[in-house]
Amino acid sequence: MKGPALAALVALFVGIAGAPSAAAAPLAAGDTCAVDAATMIWGFKESFRSYISGTIANGEWTVADGATYATPDFSWSAGKGSYGQQSGLVAFDGSVEFTGHGGILDTTIAHPQLRFDGNKAMLLLDVTGTTQDGATVDSRDVEFVEIDLGGHTVYADGTITVTAAPTTLTAAGAAAFGTYPEGEAFDALSFTLPLDATCADAVAPVSSPWWIISSVVVVLLLAAAAVVLVVRRRRA
């Protein structure tokens, strides 16, 4: 393979893969970046929404204080707080009130907070209402669902983006909401965390699997091209 052809091949693959937009040293353990204007999208639990809006509960949900709904997801915005690879807490205003059975079912989830710990995160919620068993609940900062961030996180252009990360109900979430057992799958959750500009460059880019795969392909192609070159020169 001739030099220009090799260069074109490499350029093609790097172009397809997309180089990470920020390469920098990792944050020191415990360091955090301020976060402003964070967004979060979550459907809560699809089967629960079906139950509420269907003929059994004959209910509805009402969003307030900045939360919005567009089928099939609730959205929160203007989240503030901090992010670190092993720590951080980002809080949103906004609530969702689920009602049904002529008012017997009336549960509100509010004030979501994302708390980070490596490849896991926790979604905390304030939960008020009545469980299916009739117990009254009024709990702040409930560790509601655990979020599996592995393979769902990308860092680019100063923003951490998590797309469709699986969530599972915690023991505390099961106690506060009722009906569903610990470990129950809730809807996948997505969020964006714009980092403070003065701090963003210090965060190590979180590699997406696609970037890793593409890098390996480029390295293998370079190695193959080098072998071909050496063999041809020896023959010549």
DSSP element (H, E) containing 228: helix 209-235
Find the part of the chain contacting ligand HEM (CB under 6 A) among 78-86, 126-134, 189-197, 217-225. Answer: 126-134
CB of 227 to ligand HEM, least distance (A): 57
Return the number of other C-beta atoms located less than 10 Å from residue 122's C-beta.
20
- The single residue among 1, 6, 51, 211 that binds ligand HEM, judged by CB under 6 A, is 51
Residue spans of beta strands (DSSP E) within 71-176: 73-83, 88-91, 95-100, 105-117, 120-130, 136-148, 153-156, 159-169
According to DSSP, the β-strands at 95-100 and 60-64 are antiparallel
Considering only residues 144-173, where is the footprint of ligand HEM by CB under 6 A?
Answer: none
Report d(CA 222, CA 182) in Å as an integer: 49
Q: Note whether 169 and 182 are within 8 A (CB).
A: yes
- The single residue among 16, 78, 104, 164 that binds ligand HEM, judged by CB under 6 A, is 104
Among residues 176, 186, 191, 168, the alpha carbon closest in space to that of 46 is found at: 186
Q: Does 47 bind ligand HEM (CB under 6 A)?
A: yes
Size, binding site for ligand HEM by CB under 6 A: 13
Q: Does 105 bind ligand HEM (CB under 6 A)?
A: yes
Find the part of the chain contacting ligand HEM (CB under 6 A) among 88-96, 125-133, 141-149, 228-236. Answer: 125-133
Find the part of the chain contacting ligand HEM (CB under 6 A) among 25-33, 47-55, 119-127, 212-220. Answer: 47-55
Q: Does 132 bind ligand HEM (CB under 6 A)?
A: yes
Chain residues that interact with ligand HEM, rule: CB under 6 A: 47-48, 51, 56, 101, 104-105, 107, 130-132, 178-179
